[in-house]
Structure 1
Amino acid sequence: MYDERVIEKIRGIWKTFDLSLGIPEIDKQHLWLIGILADLEDKLESGTRSALETTFTNALSKTLDYASEHFALEEKLLESIGYTKLGQHRLQHMRFLTALKNRVRKNFEGNFEQAVMELLKNLKKWLFRHILSEDRQYVDLADINITQEISSSLNEQLRTSPHAKEIENLYAAVVYSAKQTVSKEFNVIGEDNLKLISDLWYRYKLKTGIAIVDIQHLWLLQLLVKTDKLYKQKLKQEIGSEYLSLELKKAIQETIEYIREHFSTEEAIMHNFRYIGERNHQKQHENFNILINDMIERSEKEELESLAILIQDLKDWLVSHIAIEDKKLFYFFRSRLPEVNEYVRNLNREGKIHIWKEAVMIYKLLVEYEDITREKTPV
């Protein structure tokens, strides 16, 4: 069974992202996958580098077991309830299995830290894209059509798994335990905020693949979510008030300052590596500053309704800019990402940028494990 700190992380992921489908047989196996993921991260963070080969091999073996057992059970369920998209669903399963089997054959040349991080990235992508999106599409049909006979058949199949005891114990610890504490990252950021950030991140496919850019984008989303929630609370509590709350003004100022810091970081990277679209990208940042100045002015004038529109404009602009323009950066930098990460470490070391540890927490949770604030250690 997992350590309590791992259970708390599993519980945090499960509750925060509302991953239960309400079908216990499926939920148990989904929790099993989250357990593999959370335990792998924990071992990467707290274990020794010499043990990484064993860590990777065990996690990959378990993931292959999960995939073969879960896909067989889920496809049996979907066939039983007459799910019309079963063919598409099965194809996604086959692609995931193929990717896992390719990892078995891949030669990592002794770099098992990289192997673990790549596996984590695959698991998170599957968790947040497939389970949160694709699997939810059959829930309503299952609610109507699952019979006692179907449920009994699925349970019988679950009981034949070599991992049956582990799966049942984990489900009980996460779902039924009287102790429902979650790990610190969920409390620091807030479970509701993380869910909203995740929804925006995956709905608009905002990942650029450049670690510092993604970390700062996630923190910007966090600030926007926080500002929007404060505005709505203010509106409910003090309609007709002539003054904005100090908390809301502070959140607006914090968001604006961080946007400018983010633009400065992007521009420093573009300039240092001679990005061919530097001037055009910089010009878009300059145009966006007009919107920021408008936001400052409305905040000072306490124009609550106008500010609401501006907050939405701000979010829309950032999402569209990230989804289109910032993704172009990746195609230019993709062969030089280690150099970019080292350049960012130097900026951080020299105090020219500040990377919030909470921002790194969100990045590790939603995107991938690598911590670019950590100094590289020799193998």
Structure 2
Amino acid sequence: MPAARAARRLPPTRNDADTVATMLAWQEDLETGIDVIDGQHRRIVDMINQLEAARRAGVQATTMEVLDELVDYTLSHFAFEESLMEQAGYPFSAAHRRVHEVFARRVQDYRLRFEAGEDILDELRAMLSRWLFNHIRGDDKAYSETVKRHLNAITRSPAHAGWLGRTMQRLFH
């Protein structure tokens, strides 16, 4: 990336008092009851907040790095979540995967627009937070009971007794 482009400043931002008001906060109703998934969701919320902080710092290259990290992490989270659903036999895992795919395409479109110089960050942040919270409260909570039952069955089976069972209990409960 050329130095002139890397140092390009983004449009002016609101004052610091607005920053606190616009940062996302984790809410209890977002808990799925699956610790590893909840931890990943919290990390995504943190990354959306990092995207906002990078935007406020005003350097496009830094913002792009945070956006790329957010996209990569979210895609790996989706793969992990989809694997859990499939292993648990969740009947709507294919539909859930399609929701993830549509979302990933939308975010990629935003990324390309940003890379082309379009000021999309406020719109992107609003979409990310709205989509994430609605997705967790709806789609993710819908699979959580099926996955928890499956994980409980695995950790209670004789084949998973001992250290493996204890490790799975710590990761998923």
TM-score, normalized by the shorter chain, greater than 0.5: yes
Q: Which has the higher contact order (CA 8 A, sep 6+)?
A: 2
Provide the C-alpha distance between the structure 2 equivalents of 1:275 and 1:316, rounded to a whole number of angstroms. Answer: 25
1:230 match: 54
Provide the C-alpha distance between the structure 2 equivalents of 1:274 and 1:371, rounded to a whole number of angstroms. Answer: 22
Provide the C-alpha distance between the structure 1 equivalents of 2:74 and 2:62, rounded to a whole number of angstroms. Answer: 18
| Gapped regions of structure 2 (runs ≥ 5) | 1-18
Matching residue within 183, 201, 205 for 2:26: 201
Shift of 1:245: 2.5
The aligned length equals 142
- Cα pair 1:291 1:314 within 8 Å, conserved: no
TM-score, structure 1 normalization:
0.34
1:335 match: 149
Provide the C-alpha distance between the structure 1 equivalents of 2:136 and 2:121, rounded to a whole number of angstroms. Answer: 22
Shift of 1:371: 4.7
Which secondary structure state, in structure 2, belongs to the residue aligned with residue 213 of structure 1? helix
Question: For residue 315 of structure 1, what is the amino acid of its counterpart?
Answer: S
Shift of 1:318: 0.9
Q: Does 1:249 align with 2:64?
A: yes
Question: What is the CA deviation profile of residues 107-132 of structure 1, one whole-angstrom value per residue up to 9, with x for unaligned ones?
Answer: xxxxxxxxxxxxxxxxxxxxxxxxxx
Which secondary structure state, in structure 1, belongs to the residue aligned with residue 121 of structure 2? helix
The sequence identity of aligned pairs, in percent, is 24
Shift of 1:201: 2.0
Question: What is the CA deviation profile of residues 270-299 of structure 1, one whole-angstrom value per residue up to 9, with x for unaligned ones?
Answer: 112211111111111111012111122122
- Cα pair 1:230 1:247 within 8 Å, conserved: yes
Shift of 1:337: 3.3
Query: Deviation above 6 Å: which 4+ runs of structure 1?
Result: none
Distance 1:371 1:225, change over 3 A: farther
- Cα pair 1:281 1:325 within 8 Å, conserved: yes
Matching residue within 283, 298, 302 for 2:98: 283
Equivalences for residues 130-209 of structure 1 within 5 A? 196=23, 200-202=25-27, 205-209=29-33
Q: Which has the larger radius of gyration?
A: 1
Provide the C-alpha distance between the structure 1 equivalents of 2:133 and 2:117, rounded to a whole number of angstroms. Answer: 26
1:258 match: 73
| Gapped regions of structure 1 (runs ≥ 5) | 1-191, 235-243, 350-369, 374-379
